[in-house]
Chain A
């Protein structure tokens, strides 16, 4: 079972190198991350983007990219379509976003899933490593679905449960979050929480458990509990998955890694492999970790697809 991003990093070195398409590594931090991941034996990069920009940043970070396959594309959507197309055709096992807006990648994945007839809903999982918690914690969907309804949330959860199984969490615990307060009317997210609990109990979401708590406070304090002492917060109660009510909530909370003592890595699991989704603002340390996660997930996916 993977307990930390350190485990992920170690496994990526063991299981690599994997062929990975990097979409527009036209920024020093991304190129540096590619360099470090290659040097660590995790990846064999295929670089797709603007040749001049890639060459310029590679030179800046002291990376000889002459030995790698390079595909020249300038249009952002073309770059994305090509990389995702290579993933779906089996030419490579991982794709990583570079300096390119995420929406292009999601569009490519959605088109590719539709073409493949997989029926898979695209969603993003942002994984946190939290000191004091003995497993990684996924926030989902932090990238694609703006205001998912019950049906979409069920699909998002299936993706997250699948990822958790890949990471070795046999029966992941899930918190379906809601902004429900006692005095206000019932929010759709709270109704979804109740319905998803039934769905999980019936087994339709895969091997998992939805816990009896719809807020972070309830998880740690219980219903009707009160915070007495910060020292008594038991982070071991943290579930494996937080299903967030909407995109704003997911994306805003998952990026608290810049504020809190947590480390984040984000990826989308498609029906054909992993797509690493580092933020365009992430620095190379973070991107290296996210590429490692892509390698490990790709390795484990090949056993199940």
Chain B
């Protein structure tokens, strides 16, 4: 099982063809990322934007060893359209947000006919590693869906299981977390968690084991859970945390980053190709990990095809 960010990158570098990542509107601040990609060598960037401006930016960094292509377009709207189209048509394997604003980028990705949607729902998975730990945890959905119901949460979990499988989590242990560990009809998250837990009991998520509702102390500590009368293989041993809604997901990851100094990366799943939106709290070093995750997903999908 992959346990660290470094192992994710190492795995991405093992064999297989380089993956092509469409990056619209390269910004100077992305040069660090490109330098890292040059060092790691598992990605070929397709830099989509005004060719002259892009060349000037690239010229500011020593990228001699980096294989890359520049696709010349008129303006930012065309850069985004082209990046999405290239990815949809298979000329790129991965789509990054690059210098496009978040609203335009996510709007283009999630658009039904011309975007990159594969099924009904895309969701975002945060991957975290504590500074001194050799274990990864996934938290989802931490970016896309405001108030997912049971149907959406089922898809969110299925999306996360794809990534869990790639990371070698063979029987992922999933905590459907909520404010309390008891089912309270007034707290929807507890009801949803109980249903998901029952679905898992009936093997509706394959080998994955979902326990819920679990409050955070029960999820994090088997001792705490036992004191509340909960006995489960999941408590204190969680691979995937499913959050109740976006307020919790988006803020929980930030709390882990800023107060726990946990390394974090993330990726959009449920799309036809891996998509990487920009998150301000993900460092350049960890953006390389995001590309490595995307490359691994892309490779898996190619194998399955």
**One of A65-73, A245-253, A290-298 contacting the partner:** A245-253
Interface string of B199-228 (1 = CB under 8 A from A): 000000000000000011110110111011
A interface size (C-beta, 8 A): 51
Q: Does any Cβ of A come within 8 Å of B257's Cβ?
A: yes
Q: Is A233's CB under 8 angstroms from B261's CB? A: yes
* 8 pairs of A and B residues whose beta carbons are closest in the complex: A281-B224, A179-B247, A255-B216, A183-B106, A216-B254, A251-B179, A179-B250, A245-B247
A226 contact from B189, B254, B258, B280, Cβ within 8 A: B280
A182-B101, A220-B258, A256-B255 are known contacts; what are 14 more A-B pairs with Cβ within 8 Å? A181-B102, A216-B251, A227-B257, A227-B283, A230-B131, A245-B247, A247-B179, A247-B187, A252-B178, A256-B220, A259-B220, A260-B255, A262-B259, A279-B217
Residues of B within 8 A of A244 (CB): 247, 251
A217 contact from B146, B221, B254, Cβ within 8 A: B254
Distance to closest chain A CB from B140 (angstroms): 14
Interface string of B20-41 (1 = CB under 8 A from A): 0000000001000000000000
Q: Does any Cβ of B come within 8 Å of A280's Cβ?
A: yes
Residues of B within 8 A of A224 (CB): 280
Distance to closest chain A CB from B264 (angstroms): 9
Q: Is A179's CB under 8 angstroms from B246's CB? A: yes
Q: Does any Cβ of B come within 8 Å of A117's Cβ?
A: no
Q: Is B189's CB under 8 angstroms from A248's CB? A: yes
Q: Does any Cβ of A come within 8 Å of B244's Cβ?
A: yes
Given the known interface contacts A179-B246, A248-B189, the answer about A253 and B255 at a Cβ–Cβ threshold of 8 Å is: yes
Q: Is A177's CB under 8 angstroms from B251's CB? A: yes
B interface size (C-beta, 8 A): 53
Q: Does any Cβ of B come within 8 Å of A228's Cβ?
A: yes
Q: Does any Cβ of A come within 8 Å of B107's Cβ?
A: yes
Residues of B within 8 A of A236 (CB): none
Residues of A within 8 A of B283 (CB): 226-230
Q: Is B227's CB under 8 angstroms from A179's CB? A: no
Q: Does any Cβ of B come within 8 Å of A27's Cβ?
A: yes
A260 contact from B103, B143, B243, B260, Cβ within 8 A: B260
Q: Does any Cβ of B come within 8 Å of A130's Cβ?
A: yes
Q: Does any Cβ of A come within 8 Å of B121's Cβ?
A: no
B249 contact from A179, A221, A228, Cβ within 8 A: A179
Interface string of A147-188 (1 = CB under 8 A from B): 000000000000000000000000000000111011111010
Q: Is A178's CB under 8 angstroms from B146's CB? A: no
Distance to closest chain A CB from B256 (angstroms): 7
A-B contact count (CB 8 A): 153
Q: Does any Cβ of A come within 8 Å of B177's Cβ?
A: yes
Interface string of A265-282 (1 = CB under 8 A from B): 000000000000001111
Distance to closest chain B CB from A152 (angstroms): 15
Q: Is A249's CB under 8 angstroms from B247's CB? A: yes
Q: Chain B residues in contact with chain A, CB under 8 A?
A: 29, 101-103, 105-107, 130-131, 143, 146, 177-180, 182, 186-187, 189, 215-218, 220-221, 223-225, 227-228, 243-252, 254-261, 280-284
Residues of B within 8 A of A183 (CB): 102-103, 105-107
Given the known interface contacts A217-B254, A247-B187, the answer about A227 and B280 at a Cβ–Cβ threshold of 8 Å is: yes
Residues of A within 8 A of B105 (CB): 183
Interface string of A21-44 (1 = CB under 8 A from B): 000000101000000000000000
Q: Is B282's CB under 8 angstroms from A227's CB? A: yes
| A112 vs B257: C-alpha distance when bound (angstroms) | 40
Distance to closest chain A CB from B266 (angstroms): 13
Q: Does any Cβ of B come within 8 Å of A140's Cβ?
A: no
| A188 vs B247: C-alpha distance when bound (angstroms) | 11
Residues of B within 8 A of A216 (CB): 251, 254-255, 257-258
Given the known interface contacts A229-B283, A249-B247, the answer about A215 and B254 at a Cβ–Cβ threshold of 8 Å is: yes
Given the known interface contacts A181-B102, A183-B102, the answer about A146 and B180 at a Cβ–Cβ threshold of 8 Å is: no
Q: Is B178's CB under 8 angstroms from A248's CB? A: yes
A246 contact from B103, B186, B227, B247, Cβ within 8 A: B247
Between B223, B243, B247, the greatest number of chain A beta carbons within 10 A of the residue's beta carbon is seen for B247
Q: Is B228's CB under 8 angstroms from A280's CB? A: yes
- Closest-by-CB residue of B relative to A137 is B259
Residues of B within 8 A of A282 (CB): 224
Given the known interface contacts A183-B102, A260-B260, the answer about A251 and B251 at a Cβ–Cβ threshold of 8 Å is: no
Distance to closest chain B CB from A154 (angstroms): 18
Residues of A within 8 A of B217 (CB): 255, 258, 279, 281
Q: Is B216's CB under 8 angstroms from A179's CB? A: no
- Closest-by-CB residue of B relative to A180 is B250
- Closest-by-CB residue of A relative to B279 is A217
Q: Does any Cβ of B come within 8 Å of A189's Cβ?
A: yes
Residues of A within 8 A of B245 (CB): 179, 246, 248
Given the known interface contacts A184-B146, A217-B280, A259-B260, the answer about A179 and B248 at a Cβ–Cβ threshold of 8 Å is: yes
Distance to closest chain B CB from A209 (angstroms): 20
| A116 vs B29: C-alpha distance when bound (angstroms) | 59
Q: Is B187's CB under 8 angstroms from A225's CB? A: no
A252 contact from B250, B252, B258, B261, Cβ within 8 A: B252
B224 contact from A215, A217, A233, A258, Cβ within 8 A: A258
The 15 listed contacts between A and B (C-beta, < 8 Å) are: A146-B186, A146-B187, A220-B258, A228-B283, A229-B283, A233-B261, A244-B247, A246-B245, A248-B244, A251-B180, A255-B217, A259-B220, A261-B260, A281-B223, A281-B228
Q: Is A226's CB under 8 angstroms from B29's CB? A: yes
Between A215, A244, A249, the greatest number of chain B beta carbons within 10 A of the residue's beta carbon is seen for A249
Q: Is A252's CB under 8 angstroms from B243's CB? A: yes
| A197 vs B255: C-alpha distance when bound (angstroms) | 22
